[in-house]
Chains A and B, each alone.
Chain A
Amino acid sequence: MVYAALFYLIAGLTVGCALGVALSRNVVYSAFALMGTLLGTAGMYAFLAADFLAVVQILVYVGGILVLTLFAIMLTHQIADVEVSNRSVGRLPAMLIVGVVGVGMFTAMFRAPWKMVEPGEPLPTTYGIGESFLGPYLLPFELASIVLLTALVGAIVLSRKEIRD
């Protein structure tokens, strides 16, 4: 009972904040609503017995990506973003597209015969994830390191003028 109530609370936070990101006029408010969605997603991971991923989500998304986004907003923008006219796609066509996609996804979701297994007891996942990373997923793991290093160097080159000239 408490479990279900907690789930609906966190699911409501996730979806409500996602709608806040979509509908807010001010991009700073959008960024703070995004924080709610990211934290709610971490809660969803916890409900799905993915303890390690819940912590990774908070560390990387809330602690890294969101702070980076806020920095970029503060560095570029004349903070209030109130112009309403001339959106890239108007709100009504966008609602239409989103409605069609949403109805399609919900129909598919409730019709599909998902293969379902009764989930076991939630166990610590860190050991299994570590074993997989240094076992069958070793090559993608190393490739991920290279991608991150390249992205880091690329970001520095892109954003520093004195290196480019």
Chain B
Amino acid sequence: MLDIGLHHFLTVSVLVFIAGLFTVLTRRNAIGVLMGVELILNSANINYIAFSRFGGSGYDGQIFTIFAIMLAAAEAAIGLAIVLGIYRKFETIDVEATDTLRG
């Protein structure tokens, strides 16, 4: 049980963050971008809990994670409602096609 330490969890978190960043950068599909954001939020949450377990700070990390999950739920609801609105208006959710405000 002792051979799994803080660095193992931080490594998992960095790899998930990298995958999320790559998703956000390469997707043109708005829903794909939102999924990348979820990956990044998850990696941050793993870090919070890992530091709260190995840093000895009680429940603070876990409570921040609960708030992060709550905000992710709100973000998903609003984001997907906006995506549906964009789809109704433009018939596509390609983030490059929605450039009405471009000067």
Contact residues of A with B, CB < 8 Å?
3-4, 7, 11, 14-15, 18-19, 21-22, 27, 30-31, 34, 37-38, 41, 44-45, 47-50, 52-53, 56-57, 60-61, 64-65, 68-69, 71-73, 75-77, 81, 83, 86-91, 93-95, 97-98, 101-102, 105-106, 109-110, 114-117, 119, 125, 128-129, 132-133, 137, 140, 144, 147-148, 151-152, 154-156, 158-159, 161
Residues from chain B with a CB closer than 8 A to the CB of A129 are 59, 62-63, 66
Measured between alpha carbons, how far is A152 from B38 in the docked complex, in Å? 19
Tell me whether B25 and A52 are in contact (CB under 8 A): no
Residues from chain B with a CB closer than 8 A to the CB of A22 are 19-20, 22-23, 26, 36, 39
Tell me whether A77 and B63 are in contact (CB under 8 A): no
- A106-B14, A159-B85 known; A52 vs B22 contact (CB < 8 Å): no
Residues from chain B with a CB closer than 8 A to the CB of A86 are 28, 96
Measured between alpha carbons, how far is A125 from B78 in the docked complex, in Å? 31
Q: Would you list 16 pairs from A and B whose C-beta atoms are within 8 A, ordered by A residue?
A: A18-B15, A34-B35, A38-B42, A41-B46, A44-B12, A44-B49, A76-B83, A109-B7, A109-B14, A114-B6, A117-B56, A125-B62, A129-B59, A152-B77, A155-B80, A156-B81
Q: Which residue of B lies closest to A44 (CB)?
A: B46
Q: Is the interface of B mostly helix, strand, loop or mixed?
A: helix
Residues from chain A with a CB closer than 8 A to the CB of B95 are 88
- A7-B8, A34-B35, A87-B26 known; A128 vs B59 contact (CB < 8 Å): yes
Q: Which residue of B lies closest to A2 (CB)?
A: B1
Partner of B16, one of A15, A97, A140: A15
- Nearest chain B CB to A60 CB, angstrom units: 5
Residues from chain B with a CB closer than 8 A to the CB of A31 are 35
Residues from chain A with a CB closer than 8 A to the CB of B75 are 151
Give chain B interface residues in 1-47, CB to chain A under 8 Å. Answer: 1, 3-12, 14-23, 25-29, 31-32, 34-36, 38-39, 42, 45-46
Q: Is the interface of A mostly helix, strand, loop or mixed?
A: helix
Tell me whether A87 and B28 are in contact (CB under 8 A): yes
Measured between alpha carbons, how far is A97 from B76 in the docked complex, in Å? 26
- Nearest chain A CB to B89 CB, angstrom units: 11
- Nearest chain B CB to A145 CB, angstrom units: 9
Contact with A along B63-103 (1 / 0, CB 8 A): 10111011111111110111111011000010110000000
Measured between alpha carbons, how far is A65 from B14 in the docked complex, in Å? 22
